[in-house]
Structure 1
Amino acid sequence: MSICFQSFNYWPRVNCCLGRDTSKQQNNNAVLKLSESLIPHAEESRSPRISISSKPSRDRNFSNPMMDQPNGVGIIGGFLVDSTLNFAEILVNLKMEDQESGLPFVLCSDPLVNNKLLSIDERSIVENLRCKRVFLEHSGVCCIVMPCHLSHCWYDEIKEGCSVPVLHMGECVVKELKEEKLRPIEAGSGVRIGVLSTYVALVERMYREKLENEGFEVVMLDKATMEHTIIPALEALSRNDLEGAQNLFRIALQVLLVRAVNKIIVASDELRELLPPDDPLWRKCTNPMDALARASVEYARSTGRGK
């Protein structure tokens, strides 16, 4: 079943298409695409800009919500459209216990605008992401997720005032690692978790503190190893040299494994899809997108039971 429409009270000129997977096929995703910017251009529109209050919205009975199910998930698309669509596919493949089809969701993605925002000021980025959050909030979803590590730089600003939970990808990963009850590989040491990312500051904010609070030791690549493995791997990807990128990525993983880490969190949207799922090295890795998707399903399931 699909519904197409072109009318909203709060954002003009937005084309939307909402679909619901009613079969066992994986491609019938529930996707909402925004074809134009959520931030109106001054030269294009005289409509007043959206005023987003930071106060919590306690009344969730918004007028004409798109979701008629209580367990829909809202997705704020990331800066890489491929990562966003990969997350949507993961979410569709995770079936609810009492449903044959995938979890209903609304996806708000504007990749062209995202690319422009990266070269603009931080305030514009936050405003754009908050507009998408409010849009999803008004659509009637039970929770909101951001399958993008870079977007989590502004997690606190985005979630402020939201009336539904905004799941944090880092918290979802750490929770699953804690539930695995891992044991130290080396005697006399703690459980070590490797974190592989192209953004060191982002890792500090998203993972290190949360992991250490749960008793994990955090292991990362040093600067020299990054310069000889991860950075060249990204350069190889830009040249479409997949084999070269894979070899360099494998070396980086092996360096972490030699340091007796139990698991490696691949906190990079660019590197996460490099190795096939059955690769022995990838089996030692944790995909944050998988953890976020499982947490989304779990929360949606609990919300559905409570209705």
Structure 2
Amino acid sequence: MHRPILGILGGVGPLATAYFMECVIHKTPAERDQDNIPMVVFNDPQIPDRTAYILDHSEPNPLPELEKVVAWLEHAGADYIAIPCNTAHYFYDPIVEAANVPVLNIMRETVARILKTAGPKSSVGLLATSGTVESGVFQDYLSEASLRAVVPTKREQDEVVMPLIYDHIKKNLPYDATEFLEVARRLHEEEGCETVIVGCTELSVVYQDLDEKPAYLVDAMDVLADRCVEFYRENSAKYVEDLPVVALL
């Protein structure tokens, strides 16, 4: 029986991809193996660094490799695609143009989640790579929803957020989340941010590992996983109905 297959454009980064798959499985209401979502995953760590390119266009461009992985996922049978990397959504529009199946948008889904509880013109903190912050893509989605984005100070970004991502999570090394959580707390309490977005899937690894998750944190990867499950449940009947009828003689 063909059901909608989730394609995951992974490797950006590899550990975040593994956490994302686990997150989708945990969120799927299943009583047996067969109730889970079929997935095809290309965990391609050879995709050039997204932040490096966004900050300096003389660096290798990730887009051609991202498009290749999308084509591979479609060829492998993916009916819809998720990209568990916020920074890669800088390239979202050309990726969608290259795709022949729906590509979910982690930023758009996260903003939609926030709008369910946020008041008009609320301030929203954003914890993300410098590539995401400098590109302004996430801020644009928030602005379109009449939400004001607040980012960490340059010192916090350079000395806390980026080292946690690049010197610990991406290297699969131990980390201490204390300073990271302090930046989030400051955005919430001192900057008046009702919500603080965990807007990098490496930071989502930190979020998923927290024993106690502050209520004001919204993890973009967690939101994307919810949307993957929702898409699957919305479309399962359609894909079954689209199966050809085979006459039995």
From 149, 156, 159, give the equivalent of 1:218.
Answer: 149
The answer to whether the 8 A contact 1:78-1:146 is kept is no
Identity percentage of aligned residues: 22
Pick closer, same or farther for the CA change 1:263–1:70 going to 2, 3 Å.
same
From 72, 95, 103, give the equivalent of 2:37.
Answer: 103
* Corresponding residue for residue 269 of structure 1: 201
The answer to whether the 8 A contact 1:191-1:216 is kept is yes
CA RMSD of aligned residues (A): 2.9
* Corresponding residue for residue 244 of structure 2: none
Look up the SS of the partner of 1:273 in the other structure. Answer: helix
Q: 1:109, 1:207 → 2: CA distance? A: 24
Kindly provide the CA deviation profile for residues 209-266 of structure 1, in whole angstroms up to 9, marking residues without a partner as x: 11111121211112133345334545773694523xx121122112101211111111
* Corresponding residue for residue 70 of structure 1: 3
User: Which aligned pairs between 1:283-298 and structure 2 lie closer than 5 A?
Assistant: 283-298=215-230
Kindly provide the CA deviation profile for residues 51-72 of structure 1, in whole angstroms up to 9, marking residues without a partner as x: xxxxxxxxxxxxxxxxx52311
Pick closer, same or farther for the CA change 1:250–1:202 going to 2, 3 Å.
closer
Deviation at 1:278, TM superposition (A): 3.5
Question: How many residues were matched structurally?
Answer: 228
Q: 2:185, 2:12 → 1: CA distance? A: 29
Q: Using CA pairs below 8 Å that are at least 6 residues apart, which structure has the higher relative contact order?
A: 2
Look up the SS of the partner of 2:185 in the other structure. Answer: helix
* Corresponding residue for residue 118 of structure 2: 182
Q: 2:119, 2:26 → 1: CA distance? A: 30
Look up the SS of the partner of 1:265 in the other structure. Answer: strand
* Corresponding residue for residue 232 of structure 2: 300
Pick closer, same or farther for the CA change 1:163–1:116 going to 2, 3 Å.
closer
1:90 pairs with 2:90: no
Give 1:127's aligned amino acid.
Answer: P
The answer to whether the 8 A contact 1:192-1:218 is kept is yes
Deviation at 1:200, TM superposition (A): 4.9
Taking structure 2 as the reference length, what is the TM-score of the superposition? 0.79
Give ranges in structure 2 of 5+ residues lacking alignment.
54-58, 242-249
Q: Which of these two proteins has the greater Rg computed from alpha carbons?
A: 1
The answer to whether the 8 A contact 1:191-1:217 is kept is yes
Q: 2:166, 2:44 → 1: CA distance? A: 26
Pick closer, same or farther for the CA change 1:224–1:158 going to 2, 3 Å.
same
Look up the SS of the partner of 1:144 in the other structure. Answer: strand
Give 2:28's aligned amino acid.
Answer: K
Look up the SS of the partner of 1:175 in the other structure. Answer: helix
Look up the SS of the partner of 1:167 in the other structure. Answer: coil
Deviation at 1:208, TM superposition (A): 0.8
Look up the SS of the partner of 2:200 in the other structure. Answer: coil
Deviation at 1:285, TM superposition (A): 1.0
1:135 pairs with 2:135: no
Q: 1:230, 1:168 → 2: CA distance? A: 23
Give 1:121's aligned amino acid.
Answer: P
Q: Which moved more, 1:152-161 or 1:268-277?
A: 268-277
Taking structure 1 as the reference length, what is the TM-score of the superposition? 0.65
Give 1:142's aligned amino acid.
Answer: D
Q: 2:37, 2:166 → 1: CA distance? A: 37
The answer to whether the 8 A contact 1:264-1:286 is kept is yes
Look up the SS of the partner of 1:264 in the other structure. Answer: strand
Pick closer, same or farther for the CA change 1:207–1:115 going to 2, 3 Å.
closer
Q: 1:203, 1:98 → 2: CA distance? A: 44
